[in-house]
Amino acid sequence: MSEHFQYVITVFESCENAQQVNTAKQLAANFFDKYKTEFDSITRAHTAQKFEQAMNDAYARIIK
């Protein structure tokens, strides 16, 4: 699971346009769907926060 998590973060970090960010967002959604039984509410929220920060950073780079 940690390798898949890092992969999603790396995809967000490599985004160069909004379409790529949307694809990364879908990857994040797929991640949560795949590992839904392995999360409790706290770890799910923490992981979502990490993905959201990576997404926000990606948008900030694109807008520059």
Q: What is the pLDDT of residues 32-45, one digit of tens each?
A: 999 999 999 999 99
Q: Is the pLDDT of residue 18 over 80?
A: yes
> What's the pLDDT band for 64 if we cut at 50, 70, 90?
confident
45 contact partners, CB below 8 Å, separation of at least 6: none
Distance CA 64, CA 51 (A): 20
**Residue 30 C-alpha from the chain's centroid:** 10
